[in-house]
Structure 1
């Protein structure tokens, strides 16, 4: 973190800033020539699917079908840097624990399987057979209920299916994944409302929509390829109404790097036609305000004999619960809606007015809606808004949760879930001749609780950086060392390898971009995008080392080491030919994966059937449900004690993806060379007696006798709602109490953490904390 500078960025999303950033990382990772050629295969039907976000892949891809962050992800995986046994011999685990996240991953790709040696406090190389033998012995000696099988969202459908089967044959449903930390509120809310756990829109719906509502998702940093359909919609005159606490550049202006005229003239497209800076946790009240305005306008239309505003025919045939919902909206006072949303009545009515004129509307949202104590209710309120005008189950309309990791949605589709009711266990039992566990497994929060109380004894991580991604990280890291066994299947070194169990292994795997050669030849894998389309993917580069192995092979070897032989499960045959895994997936899920092997490379992918798209509602009422929340308080059982407590929103920079930090610049927010910043409203600065550029400490305001603090952040005056502040994930996770989560989904409430901001205490006075 050198040459730190904070100054406003005036450029658009995309444009020359994006091109310059891409050139920098390709050069830094020492792949400028080969990297450019490799990117031409990214997100193409005959190439590999991006290892970054899960945004939909078009049937007719652009010449450069990748974005800035997708290209960074490719460069990050295909770096020429290597973390070899010599590196681990040089550095102890204790030393590496002091390194920043960026420095750990920047050591490059892992090349050999490694085992922790407590005598030297170092990881040392180990033979694959020896590693699996010990892992198998340890797992056989543990209660299956005490073992966790975590999946990060990176693994293919094939690997995920095998991994879920391994866990269930071992004896549990302890299959948490990264969805637990981000979109679990979606997975709980949507089945109750419309009978499916995922969004209903397809990529082609963006071509015929009349309005896009955008809630709590930073498209410019988290899914930039999405800017192309947004730009095309704006060129057709489609309004885009945005609700987001911070003014994010990708939601303001976009210059298409693939449009020579735009690049040469520095022209850009305005993305949002209305931009409402809702306060953290205020979306529930804001959407309720829109619904209230629509219902009032509908009554006026009815009284005046004009056409109705709400879609009466749709509501009568397809929905349940409107009367209770109308009573709820009518009971909400505008003063309360304004106070809780941070928006004026006129702003909410302006948004509602545009919505009332649109024939087909798409409602897009991200973790700004889901990572709250009332995330589930907020998602359901957005569904309520769409149902009022029949915007579920018709072209150009629908609900569109934007997923993060490239196959996190697909993992759920093939069995990665701690909820046994979501998995066809009877079919699996018949198919493989064993009785799977029926008891609910552990989700992410429950895993953390189990580590703290000692009931979790082993953790197998299929990708990811779990201990860095979870809440209450200081407490979790301390407790993590009490595990008997930790195993990480990884491509690069990260903190999860260093905060380890008593016995710890690092198992290096192939990346998705690498050629995966097995007995039957080079293999292809598959994944599911945010719009529920399945895609095939083929590696194009040589493996980083002869000692790395594919994820399916690693999963199969663990299974063979710990499970009794089963004549109905041919682990070796699956690894030899991944098409056999896909045949088994199709046998388990015949409706979703019909002709899987034949269809996996269809341009644009092939879609998973979703009943709600056809206006068939697999809910308890048999209809789409208007669901009434118990109230509009964003955090009812954790009241803010006084005005000195403000809500922290965790953010990602445009130089990172999830816990992976590509660099120390956040171009769109004008930050260069540091991540130790806290974005604050100028009125809060004045009220708290702080100055722009001052160094501060941030502590959680929670009555649980646990000290949670992040020290030494630089205050940055920023356009953020009063009463809110923003800081970077995952560094701010230490401030999230483990119990501070969505009541139904247990998604950590990372977007509204009550904190106190105070002038920094000198390090000597805090004992170096």
Structure 2
């Protein structure tokens, strides 16, 4: 790839020496001894542990170093030598810690003993495990179950998630939001409606059979770098990769493999994207529509001329419904509208469409750039429309590929973590455990915080995560969080959600997945589901950070037993002592997935979850894959008219970040150093506003709900981003995102497209 086609901010290949230096730096930062750093050799191996960061697939034949820069950072973060004991809170009051930076809170080290908040001293103080369980159980029994929310982050295992959903339903509600609500719920809804299953259809084997790949709104270099190995192999076979993304991200441009001596010791590198189209933020539906229009117009010409058809006529006839209405909409679509909304010229879309029409098997990868929009579900459906035009679902080397974030976020849904009763096997659970599960719909994340603002939520149980930081509308939601009667936080490290505490608050330190989990029956293993719907076993390989730490299953079992008492038919102690008992029950609930799972979970490459759409079996309302006519090609048809000079803000994650965990303030791949209070802006937009690099600005949300949303102190940085669009970091920009500004059908926060105006900074 020529120099001028690289990122201006980082004119090097992703991976390479830059990645190796970053890994060495964090190992030193976390004071990780050489003996402990060898744990990386067990990461994502069949006999080791699943990475605690992203959920990319674990190959049957792994590389010697089957970890990436992001995964190494997450591992070093967990096995740090730094500790937060009860003495830490003797030195630091909670009110003081509230002023600390998010990075500094987690950087303090691993939590080592259970804690409860003492209001008289404004400190967290030690409490025994049984005292904590009994007190939490008493609190929960005193509350209306409808007022309690059970949240889980994507790091919880399948076993823990199964236990939590059963506990919540025996307690009396379906209030089981999770981190999917924040990112890929648009996928779960959109794919379910289109092809009958809420997960992608590809596996690693499909990379070897595809002859074209699309990327939409997914930054592989930061969010799932191990995937670059499969992309590199595909490019060596000559497979084109076409990328649609507002920012030119180095990981999608070119890659130097740190495991290749040739690429490390010579200028050799692999070009990843063969076409790179900088679509406007919120312009994805329009771009997809343009490609569909070109395909259908080419097919119309083929019909007229009597030449071979361009669309897959047999697939559309036998396996789909709704094509005629969709095709008519596409034919009538205006090129002026497509170009204006997408920000792309027609010839760019023609280049992409030509490659698509030349290909026989096409994979479409995508991330939160498609899902975190008001029209996020529509974006996913439009991607399916494009694939279905040429039969690219349910055949080798083809299909939709949602690239998930957290390591088991997809798997949690598989084992019942959902607020939607229709998606949980309630009848089977009732039969299996002799109780009547609640049938009322529970609350997702947005609904839970809406209810919190209305005073209807009284308690939050948080299995990991940092909800106070990750949720939108922080100026409103953070004060409401502090009014809760009870907050329970299961975590490895301190974060802001522990400090903005309820009236009664507990912090319960849990084992990391990397640590050896010893219970009464011996060392335990857990399991996860990756982005390609494959299940894997995982067991820890390092000693726990402290002997007083307990596992997530231990903690869930202890609280469930203390809360439910005689009401429960589950032997929670037995499940706590031997996780294979949990897997036996999972097999009874879902025999098609988990029968004899204890023996199969160590299968190299994983156990493939049944995905009917892979076999062209469609579990949809019509019994076929369904084309959808879009409601609008614009991003926010129901938002107020954008005022002159307004901009569209997309929130971003840096290469030194995983979700709300900040490893440091640099973003090497975008050329940002020493601060996250940065706004990436097109130079023409800067000039129009009289701004120079480094100038301080404030941003205000454009909305008509009467709430002032503003963040000050951003430094402007010129960047290659479409005019009218700007980028800023998550979670620093979260106060600008209204809680109600979410995807229509899925309620995923619309963090990738927030209308804002520039204001003079007061900081």
TM-score by length of 1: 0.98
- Distance, in Å, in 2 between the alignment partners of 1:266 and 1:7 is 18
- Distance, in Å, in 2 between the alignment partners of 1:418 and 1:680 is 39
| Residues 1:219 and 2:212 aligned together | no
- In structure 2, the partner of 1:116 is 117
Pairs within 5 Å for 1:711-730: 711-730=712-731
- Distance, in Å, in 1 between the alignment partners of 2:9 and 2:752 is 24
- In structure 1, the partner of 2:668 is 667
Instruction: String of CA shifts for 1:690-736, please: whole Å, max 9, x gaps.
Output: 11211111111111121111111110000000000000001111100
Pairs within 5 Å for 1:112-511: 112-511=113-512
Answer yes or no: is the 8 Å Cα contact 2:36–2:542 preserved in 1.
Answer: no
- Distance, in Å, in 2 between the alignment partners of 1:567 and 1:672 is 54
Answer yes or no: is the 8 Å Cα contact 1:431–1:568 preserved in 2.
Answer: no
| Residues 1:553 and 2:551 aligned together | no
- In structure 1, the partner of 2:563 is 562
- In structure 1, the partner of 2:4 is none
- Distance, in Å, in 1 between the alignment partners of 2:164 and 2:89 is 29
Answer yes or no: is the 8 Å Cα contact 2:10–2:250 preserved in 1.
Answer: no
| Residues 1:756 and 2:757 aligned together | yes
TM-superposed CA distance for 1:32, in Å, is: 4.3
TM-superposed CA distance for 1:566, in Å, is: 5.2
Answer yes or no: is the 8 Å Cα contact 1:88–1:123 preserved in 2.
Answer: yes
Pairs within 5 Å for 1:584-603: 584-603=585-604
| Residues 1:678 and 2:679 aligned together | yes
TM-superposed CA distance for 1:567, in Å, is: 6.8
Answer yes or no: is the 8 Å Cα contact 2:170–2:568 preserved in 1.
Answer: no
Listed as ranges, the gaps of 5+ residues in structure 1 are 1-5, 764-769
- In structure 1, the partner of 2:82 is 81
Instruction: String of CA shifts for 1:5-43, please: whole Å, max 9, x gaps.
Output: x99321111000000000000011011412431000000
- In structure 2, the partner of 1:525 is 526
User: Structure 1 residues 640 and 256 mapped into 2: Cα distance closer, same or farther (>3 Å)?
Assistant: farther
- Distance, in Å, in 2 between the alignment partners of 1:90 and 1:567 is 42
- In structure 2, the partner of 1:36 is 37
Answer yes or no: is the 8 Å Cα contact 2:316–2:388 preserved in 1.
Answer: yes
Instruction: String of CA shifts for 1:80-136, please: whole Å, max 9, x gaps.
Output: 000110111111111111111000000000001011010111111111111111111
Answer yes or no: is the 8 Å Cα contact 1:23–1:32 preserved in 2.
Answer: no
- Distance, in Å, in 1 between the alignment partners of 2:56 and 2:501 is 33
> SS state of the match for residue 286, structure 1?
helix
TM-superposed CA distance for 1:640, in Å, is: 3.9
Instruction: String of CA shifts for 1:341-389, please: whole Å, max 9, x gaps.
Output: 0101111111001000000000000000000000000100000000000
User: Structure 1 residues 596 and 398 mapped into 2: Cα distance closer, same or farther (>3 Å)?
Assistant: same
Answer yes or no: is the 8 Å Cα contact 2:8–2:720 preserved in 1.
Answer: no
Answer yes or no: is the 8 Å Cα contact 2:288–2:382 preserved in 1.
Answer: yes
Answer yes or no: is the 8 Å Cα contact 1:487–1:506 preserved in 2.
Answer: yes
- Distance, in Å, in 2 between the alignment partners of 1:32 and 1:356 is 53
TM-superposed CA distance for 1:534, in Å, is: 0.2
Answer yes or no: is the 8 Å Cα contact 1:7–1:671 preserved in 2.
Answer: no
- Distance, in Å, in 1 between the alignment partners of 2:455 and 2:580 is 40
- Distance, in Å, in 1 between the alignment partners of 2:267 and 2:596 is 47
- Distance, in Å, in 2 between the alignment partners of 1:472 and 1:267 is 46
| Residues 1:26 and 2:27 aligned together | yes
- Distance, in Å, in 1 between the alignment partners of 2:483 and 2:761 is 33
- Distance, in Å, in 1 between the alignment partners of 2:262 and 2:444 is 49
TM-superposed CA distance for 1:49, in Å, is: 0.4
Answer yes or no: is the 8 Å Cα contact 1:89–1:122 preserved in 2.
Answer: yes
> SS state of the match for residue 139, structure 2?
helix
Moved more, 174-183 or 641-650: 641-650
- Distance, in Å, in 2 between the alignment partners of 1:551 and 1:479 is 27
User: Structure 1 residues 547 and 427 mapped into 2: Cα distance closer, same or farther (>3 Å)?
Assistant: same
Answer yes or no: is the 8 Å Cα contact 2:640–2:704 preserved in 1.
Answer: no
- In structure 2, the partner of 1:766 is none
- Distance, in Å, in 2 between the alignment partners of 1:423 and 1:760 is 49
- Distance, in Å, in 2 between the alignment partners of 1:344 and 1:590 is 51
> SS state of the match for residue 510, structure 1?
coil
| Residues 1:611 and 2:609 aligned together | no
- In structure 2, the partner of 1:690 is 691
Answer yes or no: is the 8 Å Cα contact 1:640–1:754 preserved in 2.
Answer: no
TM-superposed CA distance for 1:593, in Å, is: 1.3
Instruction: String of CA shifts for 1:32-75, please: whole Å, max 9, x gaps.
Output: 41243100000000000000000011000000000000000000
- Distance, in Å, in 2 between the alignment partners of 1:208 and 1:8 is 34
- In structure 2, the partner of 1:635 is 636
Answer yes or no: is the 8 Å Cα contact 2:9–2:719 preserved in 1.
Answer: no
- Distance, in Å, in 2 between the alignment partners of 1:169 and 1:503 is 23
TM-superposed CA distance for 1:494, in Å, is: 0.4
- Distance, in Å, in 1 between the alignment partners of 2:235 and 2:569 is 54
TM-superposed CA distance for 1:266, in Å, is: 3.1
Moved more, 204-213 or 568-577: 568-577
- Distance, in Å, in 2 between the alignment partners of 1:609 and 1:594 is 12
Instruction: String of CA shifts for 1:229-285, please: whole Å, max 9, x gaps.
Output: 011111100000000000000000100000011100032111000000000110000
- In structure 2, the partner of 1:767 is none
Answer yes or no: is the 8 Å Cα contact 2:149–2:457 preserved in 1.
Answer: yes
- Distance, in Å, in 2 between the alignment partners of 1:397 and 1:71 is 31
Answer yes or no: is the 8 Å Cα contact 2:642–2:755 preserved in 1.
Answer: no
Answer yes or no: is the 8 Å Cα contact 1:708–1:735 preserved in 2.
Answer: yes
- Distance, in Å, in 1 between the alignment partners of 2:10 and 2:430 is 57
Moved more, 699-708 or 198-207: 699-708
TM-superposed CA distance for 1:306, in Å, is: 1.2
- Distance, in Å, in 2 between the alignment partners of 1:576 and 1:739 is 43
Answer yes or no: is the 8 Å Cα contact 1:26–1:35 preserved in 2.
Answer: no
- Distance, in Å, in 1 between the alignment partners of 2:421 and 2:367 is 26
Instruction: String of CA shifts for 1:536-566, please: whole Å, max 9, x gaps.
Output: 0010000111111011010001011110325
- Distance, in Å, in 2 between the alignment partners of 1:581 and 1:204 is 30
Listed as ranges, the gaps of 5+ residues in structure 2 are 1-6
Instruction: String of CA shifts for 1:280-320, please: whole Å, max 9, x gaps.
Output: 11000000010000000011112112111000011110000
- In structure 2, the partner of 1:65 is 66
